[in-house]
Chain A
C-alpha cells in the first residue's frame, strides 16, 4: 500500500543550525510529494511540493528534492530560526483523480535561541 515514514521527533536545534528531516515513501504509480507545516494550535500550511522525480521544491529557505531512486523527499534548511519551531508533515498524493493525501506521522522541530 501507499505510506509515508518520517524521522522520529522531537528534533531540537540551536538557532542558525542546519536542519534535515527525513521522509521516505512507498507508493504505486507516480506520486506528488508535499511538506506541510503546522504551528501550535493551527491548521496545516503547504510549505513546498514536487510533482515528479528530480524536482526540487523550495519556499522560505526550505528545500526538498524528489528522489525516486531512494523513494525519499528529505526537508532541509541551511539556517533555522526560532520561528521555524513547528510540526512538519511529509505527504504524498498518488496519481489519481481523488486528490487524497497520505500523511506521515509528523516531526516536531524545536529551535532554541
Chain B
C-alpha cells in the first residue's frame, strides 16, 4: 500500500540538542511539506519542497532545516535555535504542481516531539 511514514512516533530531546524527524513516501509525489501543530491551533507550514534538491521556507522556518536529496524522503531537523520545539509535527505530500490535483495533500501519522 502506498502512503507516508513518519518516525519515530514519539521523540524526546534534551534542551540544546538537534533532532531529525524522518518522513518517507512511496506515492511517487513530487511535492512534500512539513507542518507544526500546537494544541488548539491549526497547522503552520515550516518548509516545503516541490522537487528534488529544492525547498522553500514556510511561515515558521526559523530554527528548522530540511533536505530533499531523494524524491521519497524529506527529513526535518529541529535545531537548538528553535525556542519552543515541543509540538506535533506532520509531514505531507502531493502529486505536484503539474497535476490538477496538485493541492490535494496526503498526511503522515505525525511525530510528537517533547523537549525535556
Interface residues of A (CB under 8 A from B): 4, 32, 34, 36, 41-46, 49, 89, 93, 97-101, 103-106
CA of A46 to CA of B107, assembled, Å: 9
Interface size on B, as a range, is 20 to 34
Kindly state whether residue B25 has any CB partner on chain A within 8 Å: no
Whether A44 contacts B102 by the Cβ 8 Å rule is no
Q: Which of B1-39 contact A (CB under 8 A)?
A: 4, 6, 31, 33
Given contacts A49-B104, A89-B42, A98-B56, 12 further A-B contacts (CB under 8 A): A32-B103, A43-B6, A43-B92, A43-B107, A43-B110, A45-B107, A46-B104, A89-B43, A97-B50, A99-B94, A99-B97, A103-B42
Whether B45 contacts A100 by the Cβ 8 Å rule is yes
Interchain nearest-CB distance for A47 vs B (Å) = 12
Interchain nearest-CB distance for A108 vs B (Å) = 9
Closest-by-CB residue of B relative to A32 is: B103
Whether B103 contacts A99 by the Cβ 8 Å rule is yes
Q: Please tell me which one of the listed residues B40, B42, B48, B109 contacts residue A43 in the complex, with CB atoms under 8 A apart.
A: B109
Interchain nearest-CB distance for A84 vs B (Å) = 19
CA of A87 to CA of B69, assembled, Å: 34
CA of A93 to CA of B94, assembled, Å: 12
Whether A97 contacts B109 by the Cβ 8 Å rule is no
* A101 in contact with B103 given A44-B90, A89-B42, A89-B43 (CB within 8 Å): yes
CA of A104 to CA of B90, assembled, Å: 16
Whether B97 contacts A42 by the Cβ 8 Å rule is no
CA of A41 to CA of B9, assembled, Å: 10
Closest-by-CB residue of A relative to B112 is: A41
Q: Which of B99-116 contact A (CB under 8 A)?
A: 102-110
